[in-house]
A and B are shown apart, each in its own frame.
Chain A
Amino acid sequence: MTAPLLTIENLSIGFRGPDDQPVFIVREVNMSLAAGETLGLVGESGCGKSSLLLAMMGYYKPGLGRLSGSLSYDGEDPGLISSHQLQALRGGGMALIPQNAGQALTPTLRIKAQMIEVLRLHSDLAPSAWHPRCIELFERVKLPAPEQMLKRYPHELSGGQQQRVAIAMALAGEPNLLLLDEPTTGLDVTTQVEVLALLQEICRDLGTAMVYVSHDIQVIQKVCNQIAIMYAGEIVEMGSRATLLAAPVHPYTQGLLASIPRLHQQTLPRPIAGEMLQPVHRGSSVGCGYANRCLLATDQCQATSPAPRVVMDRWVKCHEVEAAVAGELIRPAQKLLAPALGENLLLAVEDLSVSYQRPSLVRALLGHKPLATVQGVTFGIRQGEILGLVGESGSGKSTILKTIAGLQRSLSGRITLSGTDDLAGPVESRARGCLRKVQLVFQNPDASLNPRKTIGEILRRPLELYFELAPTVMNDEVDALLHRVNLPESYKGRFPGQLSGGEKQRVAIARALAAKPELILCDEITSALDVSVQAAILKLLLDLRADSGVSLLFVSHDLAVVETLCDSVLVLEGGEVREAGLCAEVFKNPQHAYTQALMKAVPIADPRKRKDENDVVHIT
């Protein structure tokens, strides 16, 4: 057997805290990667996966450094070689494909100049051979019309094309190792499928080894043969794709897989209680990082860090492996029940068209019609119904939401609430009682809560605005709201910055509930959250609907989430409705070609269900 390409031994990355105690971002990681092997690093945000990836290139984010351990690539440690050697190594021996290719490309240089820079630094080619090599690389990554592509600026390319250019640049130095940092995260699901297929093909044809970092295990299993699960800076389980996915052993892996909403599952994903502790809060504690969320945690888990063991053909770091293998974690999945929907139509949207262009007088006189972002959309929501609005970016789903909320003017069409309230006008023209009935929850909880207000102040505001309450009643009401979204009352005095992402989103939901609304508009409210936290929010929404009979309009790009949560669904493409109906029917038997393509593009994290793994879906 040949020597491994990359070896990591006992690597810890972090910084020294104020009291000189080490704060670990990555802790005691061991792994090795043979030439041509593909490894996926999976973990939630803040688990240290990106720091570990960058350390493989000998790079540490400002303030961070290697605390202990060793790292060797091709017999040399990237942390110890000279800067000249390091320069040759990065882009030559190993290449990084970043998350956001649009930001990684220089906006003021044409693509050709940027490609040639890589070839000049990392290849022995004569200048005359640079251009043909660029064309060859672009054909390799399946960019259409390579000659024209070279002449363009980065902003003239689509997101998927930019990512292909970044891959071509990475391949230019003929690297032995590709490092990928969430390369498909910002892409639409249909584009993601194409990029993943390309990466698979590159690994197969060129024999390049790959380390692929992602929060999404469903994406990882498409391209990687080996999977490592990271939690709180440590690799907790590592093994081949087939063994790991078929029978996860570590309690966290089990919880993670159970918390992913899947298509055609018809059960509610099971959340993992709590959230991952941030590195500063973990401190230099010696116990297992997952102990605070683990159902099997014992005193021993709190006290000592588990030693790695080999169980069932994989490498696991857990004290309670036997109990975990015995399956004590498996609880009966909650079957989704068909809700008892009211007969009354709560919201009726008829022939709605929206445009972002301001209709100018001259244009109107000349008979120009403004370009519509949303065109002739008609749908209704019954009392207690959850309607999913699905589509890729630019399909107009958020625009429809904003128009109902009164933040965007409609061009034409009617929106009525409970048959009486007219919602076609902007916020300013609506009565307070009408405003109260429709509440909005945003995608990113970091931006939707005022950082200078305490949680108590944030929740009190809608109460002051819509109801006349005595101060003591107001306080009780705030406590009740926090209780309803499963947050402790002590959070009243905290600022949003002191809460985790999932907790912030709970506060945002509580703020919407404070108004006692009849309809809550949810704009991708789980897409900024980790999957184990997302499952808890989905459960919360279903509980709230069951308690109060509130209706939800749920905008999402994630089909599995929509199928799990929603009663009915509306598929949008380019501002028009492509398909509408009950979730159960649409997902079982999609009629429109676009819906079918969307569904086929969803990666499924179950090796038994992947018969068509090498199929590439092309959307026309």
Chain B
Amino acid sequence: MGAMVDILKGVMATRSGKIGVVLVTFHLVLALVAPWLVPFDFDAQSAVIDHAGPSLAHWAGLDILGRDVLTRTMLGGREALLVTLFGTGLAVIWGSFFGVLAGYLGGRVDDLIMRSVDIFLAIPWMIFLLLVIASFGNAPMVMILTLGFFYGIGVVRMARAATLEVVVKDYVLAAKARGESTLSIMANEILPNVRDVLMVESAMRWSWMLLAFSALSFLGFGVTPPTPDWGLMIANSRIYLALAPWPVLMPMIALSSLIIGINLTADALAKSLGVDKTTRALV
């Protein structure tokens, strides 16, 4: 726990880290408390003329169906955050397990895992995802499992690369000579030393997964209407962009500020942990 506090302190020590953490925290808190804060029901329609701009009652105006844009924007990130947070967690857990396993055992196990990874990387993930959603529906659990699986593939490669730097160290050899089990060596000797790389990697994965989820919603596969969602809001209102910019701009601002926040945090995290962001190797 103390280590986590130290890491947060390191992130907050930089200016980009401060901005990033504030943005991310804002979005997380908003997602939790928004249902009690919103001024209107998300699907309540107003009788006033559609495409109405900002007014005293509706601060961000109304969309084509006369629904309050501010309300929908405040609620629009909830499902995206839920799915991507659990999806990232899943991706990092299974990805780092197989990555560390491949890196530590090497030989045939390594070959098997890495060639399987290559095969999955060769499949266009968007098409595969559409196939899964078409067959199993778009329930959050389905989205978490599919996104978590696909984004874990990159984590395998990353974790393996980081492990290869650690396995040659004498303390791993010492544990092996002591007669430690494979799982114990992976958990006690290797994992703590690739942790920094994995943390930066998960932050990056999270922001990519958010974009992917919004893209799916934009295409109509992510969230079922009338549930508010940023990607879906942009898709529904974009044809009226010239007439009514607010229903498009608000979810765009929300989504970008969250993505920027995550990226700034990841940058600061990489800097304070001494991980090179582009190669994600320890420097």
A, B: real partners: yes
Instruction: Give chain A's interface residues, CB within 8 Å of chain B.
Output: 405-407, 427, 430, 432, 435, 439-440, 442-444, 447-453, 461-462, 465, 511, 515
Whether B171 lies near A461 (C-beta < 8 A) is: no
CB atoms of B179 and A407 under 8 A apart: no
Q: Which of B125-165 contact A (CB under 8 A)?
A: none
Provide the bound-state CA to CA distance between A85 and B231, in Å. 63
Contact residue among B171, B177, B179, B195 (Cβ-Cβ distance under 8 Å from A450): B171
A452 adjacent to B192 (CB under 8 Å): yes
Report yes or no: A461 in contact with B178, Cβ–Cβ below 8 A. yes
A427-B170 contact in complex given A450-B192, A450-B193, A453-B192, C-beta closer than 8 Å: no
Contact with A along B168-183 (1 / 0, CB 8 A): 0111011111111000
Query: Known contacts being A450-B189, A451-B193, is A462 close to B173, with CB within 8 Å?
Result: no
Compute how far the CA of A406 lies from the CA of B175 in the bound complex, rounded to whole angstroms.
12
Cross-chain contact B171 with A465 (CB below 8 angstroms): no
Partner of A427, one of B171, B177, B189: B177
Q: How far is the CA of A407 from the CA of B180 in the complex (A)?
A: 13
Are B177 and A448 within 8 A (Cβ)?
Answer: no
The 4 closest A-B pairs by CB, nearest first: A452-B192, A448-B170, A435-B179, A442-B170
A444 B170 Cβ-Cβ under 8 A: yes
Once the chains bind, are B177 and A447 in contact (CB under 8 Å)?
no
Contact B176 A465 (CB under 8 A): no
B193 touches A427 (CB 8 A): no
| Chain A minimum-CB-distance residue to B3 | A452
Across the interface, do B179 and A440 meet the contact criterion of CB distance under 8 Å? no
Measured CA separation A583–B169 after assembly (Å): 33
Closest to B174 in A: A448
30 sampled A-B residue pairs with Cβ under 8 A: A405-B177, A406-B177, A407-B173, A407-B176, A407-B177, A427-B176, A427-B177, A427-B179, A430-B179, A432-B179, A435-B177, A435-B178, A435-B179, A439-B178, A442-B170, A442-B173, A448-B169, A448-B170, A448-B171, A448-B173, A448-B174, A452-B193, A453-B188, A461-B175, A461-B178, A461-B188, A462-B178, A465-B179, A465-B180, A515-B178
Residues of B that sit less than 8 Å from A by CB: 169-171, 173-180, 188-189, 192-193, 195
- The answer for the CA separation of A435 and B179 in the assembled complex, in Å, is 7
Shortest CB-to-CB span from B150 to chain A, Å, is 30
- Distance (Å) between the CB of B275 and the closest chain A CB? 15
Contact residues in B for A462 (Cβ distance below 8 Å): 178
Number of A-B residue pairs having CB atoms within 8 Å of each other in the complex: 52
Out of B170, B175, B189, B192, name the residue touching A447 (CB < 8 Å).
Answer: B170
Q: Which residues of A contact B179 (CB under 8 A)?
A: 427, 430, 432, 435, 465
Please tell me if the beta carbons of A442 and B174 are within 8 angstroms of each other in the complex: yes
Q: Which of A442, A452, A511 has the most CB of B within 10 A?
A: A452
A444–B168 CA distance with the chains assembled, in angstroms: 13
Known: A406-B177, A427-B179; 18 extra A-B contacts, CB below 8 A, are A407-B173, A430-B179, A432-B179, A439-B177, A439-B178, A442-B173, A443-B170, A447-B171, A448-B170, A450-B171, A450-B192, A450-B193, A451-B193, A453-B188, A461-B188, A462-B178, A465-B178, A511-B174
> Which residues from chain B contact A461 at a C-beta distance below 8 Å?
175, 178, 188
User: How many angstroms between the C-alpha atoms of A432 and B180 in the bound complex?
Assistant: 10
For A515, the chain B residues whose CB sits under 8 A away are: 178
Tell me which residues across on chain A come within 8 A of B189, comparing CB atoms: 450
Contacts of B170 in A (CB 8 A): 442-444, 447-448
Question: A515 CA to B176 CA in the complex, in Å?
Answer: 14
In the bound complex, CA of A116 to CA of B131 (Å): 64
CA distance A103 to B177 in the complex (A): 32
Q: How far is the CA of A443 from the CA of B176 in the complex (A)?
A: 17
A444 to B170 alpha-carbon distance, docked (Å): 8
What are the residues of chain A within 8 A of B171 when measuring CB–CB? 447-450
Q: Which residues of B contact A407 (CB under 8 A)?
A: 173, 176-177
- Complex Cα spacing A448 to B173, Å: 8
State how many angstroms separate the Cβ of B165 from the closest Cβ of chain A.
Answer: 12
Q: CB-CB < 8 A to A427: which residues of B?
A: 176-177, 179
Q: Which residue of A lies closest to B191 (CB)?
A: A452
Measured between beta carbons, the chain B residues less than 8 angstroms from A449 are 171
Bound-complex Cα distance A80 to B171 (A): 47
Chain B residues with CB below 8 A from A443, complex form: 170
Bound form: Cα–Cα A442–B168 in Å: 13
| Distance in Å: Cβ of A511 to nearest Cβ of chain B | 8
Q: How far is the CB of A554 from chain B (nearest CB, A)?
A: 17
Residues of A within 8 A of B178 (CB): 435, 439, 461-462, 465, 515
CB neighbours of B193 from chain A (8 A): 450-452
- In Å, the complex CA distance between A447 and B178 comes to 16
Task: Report how far A137 CA is from B176 CA in the complex, Å.
Answer: 50
Contacts of B177 in A (CB 8 A): 405-407, 427, 435, 439-440
State the CA gap A453–B189 with chains docked (Å): 9
Cβ distance A576 to chain B, nearest Cβ, rounded Å? 26
A440–B180 Cα distance when bound, in Å, is 14
Q: How far is the CA of A465 from the CA of B176 in the complex (A)?
A: 12
| Cβ-closest chain A residue relative to B168 | A447
The complex places the Cα of A24 from the Cα of B179 at a distance, in Å, of 46
**Which chain A positions have C-beta within 8 A of B195?**
452
| CB of A141 to closest CB in B, whole Å | 35
Q: How far apart sit A462 and B179, CA to CA, in the bound complex (Å)? A: 9
Contacts of B176 in A (CB 8 A): 407, 427
B3 to chain A, nearest CB (A): 9
Which single residue of chain A is at the shortest CB-CB distance from B190?
A: A450
A503, B189: Cα distance in complex, Å = 21
